[in-house]
Chains A and B, each alone.
Chain A
Amino acid sequence: MRDLRYATLMTITLVLFFGTVLAQCSEAEIANCDSWDLKAYWNDSSNGCNCVKDFCFNVTCSETLCGANNTLRYDGTCDPDTSECVYQEMNCPEGCGYANPENTTEDYACIGEPVNDTTSDCIDPPDCTPFNKTLNETSCDCYIPIVQDNSTVNPCPQAQCHLFDNMELNETTCTCYTLITENNSPDTGSGLDELTGFITSIPSQLGTSTGVIVLFIAGIIILIIFFFTGNDNVETEKDLSEFDTLFKKRKEPKFKKKKKLSDSQLKREVEKKIYEEEDLEDIPQTDSGKKIYGG
């Protein structure tokens, strides 16, 4: 009777042992799946080894240490359905993200760009150094700093006297004056001076009243010519001014630190926006747009 009990116990143990061992994919089966970039998977229902697509195959979830938004991401795990890495997140400890990469806190290092740099109001400012530029704290853009060399500094930058013949700069008054040379030819005046002289001499040449009438008619003709030929130029100016306005608007908003929404909260928010158009900001329209769509 005792032997029978031992025998039964041994049988159960052996069945359980071999059952466990057999209920796994063999090395050959695993290698076969590997060769297809697939994962070996023991299917209990069919009691066999299957190859299944491993969405996390070759996906390494890198631990992004204190990076953008001053967020520390850790414990990255691959989602087998989407192959995306899912991280735990927490705020970086104080001092992280600053220029000193050796600043470590407990068991993780603080790396990444300075995000809370007290010298800058810009969130995640661009790295201007590769371009030899400097960060503009107001616009958060890079600009080329103007380095002034005092030895060659121009005291009157507005006066571009060198552009004119025989002109020199008077550094005290910042005006240009004509160099008087021995071979200086008599000043004949500019074309504009000649035209002004001609126009002002018309009344005296024709008699005052006739001259005034001639000037009046000429003025009207000039206005008509300007009206009919100037449209294109006006249009061009309008377009250019529009572009000017567009580019002046290019000021980056400053974002307050945002509470990260959970997946379900985010879905609710999207649903609200899409269906109820809650707080949905309209795209500003041009006059043509307003005419067509109204509003």
Chain B
Amino acid sequence: MVRVIAIISGKGGVGKTTTAANLGVSLAYDYHKDVVAIDANTTSSGLGLHLGNYHFKKTLNDVLKNRINIPEAIFNHPSGLKFIPSSTSINSIDADPAGIKRVVSHLEPYVDIILLDCPPTLGNETISGVDSANEIIIVANPDWASLLEARRVIDYANFKKKKIIGLVLNKEENVSEEFRQRVIDSMGIPIIASIPEDNAVIDSVTKRVPVVHLHPHSKAAKAYRKLIEEVTGEQFPRKFGIMSRIFG
């Protein structure tokens, strides 16, 4: 069965899109999986920027508004990842996100994994993303405002009987073990990765190349690789030791 993984959070700016971009390119490039990443954030898209380009002529919004057919909105990332972007224009913000389910079901027979980068909050787009998915990754920062909102989306995912893979604690810095345990207790799900605050991530967003490939030796890239291992249940195919650093 194809894995449809929705990446969601309650609060905005916690790192969902960065997580989706890194997961997507790595699963395609390093694990050789057939992956389609869908920017399910039809009102404030950003995944395209992380993958190299910001503005696309044909988008998910156009598909949802029946202007074009699904295949026309599929783009090819050099990592091998297939990508359906969302619009950055105000002209298509009224696209009905309920159609995301239709797009997912059309793609399911042809790929191994579908990643849905959902918007923050529990609006129609996120609800549609969660409904279309069979697995969920929650992203939050180690602050209670972010975690409180995350708890709400966890409740919704549980209500919808979706499998929650776990929590990605992003932008983590100086977090005590006690705090982490309290997070696990209050969220009721495991922390599957802790991504440290790292300038390499900021640089990767500026250069529009996911950090796992732009700065593979950075702390953040190492943490993302751990996340990918958790998601796939397989060891990362490449090693990133001192030797690879010297000889490239």
Contacts and interface: CB of A to CB of B under 8 A. Distances in A.
B74 A274 contact: yes
Contact of B51 (A141, A255, A283): A283
A273 interface: yes
Name A's interface SS: loop
Contacts of B66: 68-69, 71, 258, 260
Nearest to B111: A274
Interface string A238-269: 01000000100110110100101100001101
A277 B71 contact: no
Contacts of A277: 76
Interface in A210-256: 239, 246, 249-250, 252-253, 255
Interface string A119-155: 0001111100000000000001110000000000000
A258 B53 contact: no
Given A282-B76, A293-B79, A255 B62 contact: yes
A288 interface: yes
A23 interface: no
Contacts, number: 121
Interface stretch (B85-93, B160-168, B174-182, B230-238): B85-93
B217 interface: no
B3 interface: no
A284 B109 contact: no
B62 A273 contact: no
A286 B70 contact: no
Contact of A288 (B70, B89, B110, B214): B214
Contact of A267 (B91, B106, B213): B106
Given A69-B67, A258-B68, A270 B106 contact: yes
Contacts of A293: 29, 78-79, 213
Interface stretch (B120-128, B189-197, B202-210): B202-210
Given A267-B106, A274-B82, A285-B208, A280 B74 contact: yes
Contacts of A280: 74-76, 82
B55 A250 contact: yes
B68 A255 contact: yes
Contact of A284 (B53, B88, B102): B53
A246 to B, nearest CB: 5
B69 interface: yes
B57 interface: yes
B89 A252 contact: yes
B83 interface: yes
Contacts of B33: none
Nearest to B208: A286
B74 A140 contact: no
A91 to B, nearest CB: 12
Interface string B41-61: 000000010011111011000
27 contacts: A84-B101, A125-B91, A142-B90, A249-B54, A250-B89, A255-B67, A266-B70, A266-B106, A267-B106, A267-B109, A270-B106, A274-B36, A274-B74, A274-B107, A280-B76, A281-B76, A282-B75, A282-B77, A283-B53, A283-B77, A283-B78, A285-B208, A285-B209, A289-B52, A289-B207, A292-B209, A292-B214
Interface of A: 68-69, 71, 82, 84, 122-126, 140-142, 239, 246, 249-250, 252-253, 255, 258, 260-261, 266-267, 269-275, 277, 280-286, 288-289, 292-295
